[in-house]
Structure 1
Amino acid sequence: MPDFSQLSALFLNCSLEYDPADSHTGRLMSRSAGIMKTEGVSVETVHALEHVIPHGMYPDLTEFGRPRDDWPLIQAKIMAADIFVMGTPIWLGVKSSVATLAVERMYASSGETNDKGQYLYYGKTAGCIVTGNEDGVKACSMDILYAMSHIGYTIPPQADCGWIGEVGPGPSYGDVVEGSDTPTGFDSDFTNRNCTFMTWNLMHTAAMLRANGGIPTDGNRAEDYQNFTNAADQSPEPIG
């Protein structure tokens, strides 16, 4: 079995519930986090609404007049982790406003570079977890995973998982309904399988990146990308 004991993971719960205990998304995130902990990964979960996170495209908004900004502390945790997992509920078919805010604040730092001169999030891996009572798991996942890939994260196969109940009002993930001994969704083979695949693929990818020193720098550093540009590409011949 592989050794993941040197890895760390940060789970960011972008629920709209202020109390983490009320978050259905947090319950599914706990399944993935539990697998990682069992395999020796150091895991931390941050519940976004326990913090003050202003809107704005700057790393620290106290420098622009906001009285408090907890994002720099969260960003430091994100940067210290090999694995980043964003969790969100579905509202109106899309990710939560809190998730959008978190993506924007991460993007605000994406122009910075790591110690190899690559953009900041290179050498790390990311996934996402989605829950709700309406369609949108794949749409939310496409949105989040594209953003993570664009800013530099390496996205493994099957990097998302989710659960949705029947369309409309009804029990959410982890709710116990009368007449059932199993919390809603806990016995979903589809959800459990995808959650397991996602979690292990994140650990495998993070371990490979760590073992190889991240992504090679050839051709992906802003300061020297032109050295890797094919001369023929600089003056393409007209087509037709």
Structure 2
Amino acid sequence: MSGYPEAPDGDSGFSGLKAVFFNCTLKRSPELCHTSGLVELSAGLMRRQGVQVEIIRPIDHPIATGVYPDMTEHGWERDAWPELFERVKAADIIVVAGPIWLGDNSSVTKQVIERLYAMSGLTNDAGQYIYYGKVGGALVTGNEDGVKHCAMNILYSLQHIGVTIPPAADAGWIGPIGPGPSYLDEGSGGPESDFTNRNTTFMAWNLMHMAMMLRRAGGIPAWGNVPEQWRAAGRDPDLDPNPDYR
């Protein structure tokens, strides 16, 4: 696809990586979703480099609201999040994508971030918090201003729970101010936008580069960031009334 360069030698070495995209649209499948257009550009580039990609529309799943790992233990009848999180655990790359509403991220985007946060007290094989060694990015669509504001919120949230954010890890598209065409609408100019296409390209490549760097390095070094080391050094866990949350 024009504007989306492949690896110079045709063998990028990314075939061991896994990526999960959360398309946080408010529209259930199979309704047309403009965010999916931008997601597919990034996901398609990754697939062509051998990355195993999964795209999840959270709105299609009965995800409960809350900040605990399994909300059925807190009064909800159903909660799909524990099962979906198994796909996050297996992923090297996490991309949160969604639309702008009232100048901010969608309610579904906020919900996904809250549920990612709910698992942040878990640890990986090195004893670090569970998201250490994973990389993250953001994709945002809309027809009014707010891309940078929304991406800022997503990327801050991801790094706060332990996800590594590479350079230029966000991209987006917005149309004119006020009501107007959305990304996939005929004549919108979205798919032809050099600015959006360049940023989406850079984001996808930087996510793959950083994920592979971390994989080859065995993740983030497990020293100075392991909860059990903190406790063993004399920190009294009883002094922290809520240690599971960052």
Scaled by the length of structure 1, what TM-score is found?
A: 0.90
Pick aligned residue for 1:10 from 20, 32, 36: 20
Give the root-mean-square deviation of aligned CA atoms. 1.6
Q: 1:132: which partner in 2?
A: 142
Q: 1:189: which partner in 2?
A: 194
Higher deviation after alignment, 23-32 or 62-71: 62-71
Extract unaligned runs of 5+ from structure 1. Answer: 178-182, 229-240
* Residues 6-31 of structure 1, C-alpha deviations (whole Å, 9 max, x = no match): 00000000011123441101110000
Structure 2: how far apart are the matches of 1:226 and 1:65?
Answer: 32
Structure 1: how far apart are the matches of 2:137 and 2:65?
Answer: 23
* Aligned residue type for 1:209: L
* Aligned residue type for 2:75: G
The aligned runs of 1:1-240 (5 Å cut-off) are 1=9, 2-177=12-187, 184-225=189-230
**C-alpha contact 1:20 1:26 (8 A) present in aligned 2:** no
Give the secondary-structure state (helix, strand or coil) at the position aligned to 2:189: coil
Give the secondary-structure state (helix, strand or coil) at the position aligned to 2:153: helix
Higher deviation after alignment, 202-211 or 54-63: 54-63
Give the secondary-structure state (helix, strand or coil) at the position aligned to 1:161: strand
Give the secondary-structure state (helix, strand or coil) at the position aligned to 1:194: helix
**C-alpha contact 1:12 1:85 (8 A) present in aligned 2:** yes
Extract unaligned runs of 5+ from structure 2. Answer: 1-8, 234-246
Q: C-alpha displacement at 1:184, in angstroms?
A: 3.3
Give the secondary-structure state (helix, strand or coil) at the position aligned to 1:22: coil
Structure 2: how far apart are the matches of 1:161 and 1:73?
Answer: 28
Q: C-alpha displacement at 1:175, in angstroms?
A: 0.8
Scaled by the length of structure 2, what TM-score is found?
A: 0.88
Structure 2: how far apart are the matches of 1:157 and 1:226?
Answer: 33
* Residues 113-141 of structure 1, C-alpha deviations (whole Å, 9 max, x = no match): 11111011000000010000111100001
Structure 2: how far apart are the matches of 1:213 and 1:162?
Answer: 31
The alignment of Structure 1 onto Structure 2 pairs a total of residues equal to 224
Structure 2: how far apart are the matches of 1:146 and 1:103?
Answer: 11
Q: C-alpha displacement at 1:64, in angstroms?
A: 2.1
Higher deviation after alignment, 90-99 or 14-23: 14-23
Q: C-alpha displacement at 1:225, in angstroms?
A: 3.7
**C-alpha contact 1:8 1:82 (8 A) present in aligned 2:** yes
Q: C-alpha displacement at 1:109, in angstroms?
A: 0.9
Structure 1: how far apart are the matches of 2:207 and 2:40?
Answer: 15
Q: C-alpha displacement at 1:56, in angstroms?
A: 1.0
* Aligned residue type for 1:212: A
Structure 1: how far apart are the matches of 2:209 and 2:177?
Answer: 35
Greater C-alpha radius of gyration? 1
